[in-house]
Chain A
């Protein structure tokens, strides 16, 4: 167990815990307006201060964690659910037209940054948190397809796969039984990284108004609201920003730590 892993797991669970607890308890109602108490800096009553409507920032951060985590998690789920089978198929049929189509399709999707996808969807259907999920999710598909294919290709060259083929096992069975378990670690690590990128992307989309819409609280929109007031109430911008940084940092450290911990080569090298 490395320091990265412990610190990363601790920060990530802290954010997750905040999101879960927010379902049953927050210090204040995150949506309750309290104009007399507006723009308070952090104090004993309001740990993270209040915004321009006097809403409790701590409660908003807790509830906002829910949005961030939900969007990023579902987006990673979409990317994995579609990307991994595509990658496995492409590797199993290496060099065939199917492989070619999947890989060219991948390259094409890579040409559409998730913000561009979000712009297109919003232009057509209007804004909303679902947009963010779809936009980030679509962008995750080629990421997982490519990494799965790459790892699977090198496994297909290994002699234990040849042995399985000599034992009469077909490509689908070999992919499920031999390839997938051996790329699982890699996918977990990549999943963590994509999760953190998803949090960042969601924040960016909400900031420009392409993500979650009011009244759903989100860190990105809190920052957008803070922009005009940053000169006299810097905590409005500092606190949601730090929430994003802590979450992303935690997930990245967790990903790095998991990679070192799960990779047997590195473990052997260290022993």
Chain B
């Protein structure tokens, strides 16, 4: 088990290292010098040099890469070119919106998908199954940002149950904050829940065809008991993979959804940074997103080992 975890950890560190090189290299290709962009065309040569030194642009590329990575390791993401404030501060502020939103959506999606998938698998071919399958087929086809607009139209503009956009802030109380993230979370969660429910169903159906399910029935377990006691845990193995993958979709999706609801999250930050050519912010936000995805996949790998004893003892 320890060996397995260490192996995964090593692969996690390696992935992060390669990812950081790729991101840094891509940003480096960008034409133009941030300092001259910030000061405009008429800048004095010595002001320019001073700003370049302040931004850490006056050293070689290799050195700059290590400064960037080394800084991130201690929580220093550099200074924004446009706002002249620490990037880490900007990111932290936005993370308090984006991360709760992604987690909220993941929770909703799992809470909807598991019962729906299990229900459909248990009633394979019956009307209940067909209804779930039809609904999920539609759910997959709906773009989440369009769904978000429809939710706004119905629940904010017409029914006035929610605000059409903006974030109330956690300082006004947990429930107020959560309330303003509810529509965005639903918009994110439902299409993902549709996918997850289908995966759950088909994983369960595969398990139901296994020999050991027949053994369980031969012991005297009813169909339902066999499904719950022997099916669900085994079906979790493929489902976990999808949950891991979905996290990256949720993160990406939340960037788009933030646009619909005017939420001050990472998505807003990154789009503002792109239009202001504030590349250090773009670079750091992208690295953070990639870090989150790689980290979640690492956790999924560990979760596998918890579910599947074969993995635990093999290594």
Contact = CB atoms under 8 A, between A and B. Distances in A.
A interacts with B: yes
A167 interface: no
B153 A252 contact: no
A155 interface: no
Contact of A112 (B144, B267, B279, B290): B290
Contacts of B150: 237, 241
A237 B157 CA distance: 14
Interface stretch (A34-42, A54-62, A203-211): A203-211
Contact of A119 (B14, B146, B286): B286
Interface residues of A, number: 39
A173 interface: no
7 contacts: A104-B11, A107-B15, A116-B289, A119-B286, A223-B145, A241-B150, A245-B142
Secondary structure dominating the interface of A = helix
B1 interface: no
Q: Among the interface residues A107, A110, A120, A244, which one has the most CB atoms of the partner chain B within 10 A?
A: A120
A151 interface: no
Interface stretch (A12-20, A44-52, A74-82, A226-234): A226-234
Given A113-B248, A113-B249, A123-B282, A200 B143 contact: yes
A203 B271 contact: no
B264 to A, nearest CB: 16
Given A124-B27, A204-B253, 19 more contacts: A104-B11, A110-B293, A111-B248, A111-B297, A113-B251, A113-B252, A115-B256, A116-B252, A116-B289, A120-B23, A124-B29, A204-B143, A234-B153, A241-B143, A246-B141, A248-B141, A248-B143, A249-B137, A253-B137
A163 interface: no
Interface of A: 104, 107-108, 110-116, 119-124, 196, 200, 203-204, 207-209, 223, 226-227, 230-231, 234, 237, 240-241, 244-246, 248-249, 252-253
Secondary structure at the B interface, as helix, strand, loop or mixed, is helix
Contacts of B293: 110-113
Given A107-B15, A112-B290, A231 B153 contact: yes
B312 to A, nearest CB: 21
Contact of B252 (A104, A114, A207): A114
B19 A120 contact: no
B255 A120 contact: no
B73 interface: no
Contacts of B267: 208
B53 interface: no
Nearest to A245: B141
Interface in B184-229: none
B153 A116 contact: no
Contact of B294 (A111, A114, A119, A209): A111
Interface in B246-280: 248-249, 251-253, 255-256, 259-260, 267, 270-271, 273-274, 277, 279
A3 B309 CA distance: 41
A9 to B, nearest CB: 15
Contacts of B146: 203, 223, 237, 240-241, 244-245
B27 A123 contact: yes
B306 interface: no
B62 interface: no
A123 B22 CA distance: 14
A204 B251 CA distance: 13
Contacts of A248: 140-141, 143
B6 interface: no
A121 B141 CA distance: 27
A3 B150 CA distance: 30
A241 B245 CA distance: 25
A84 B56 CA distance: 43
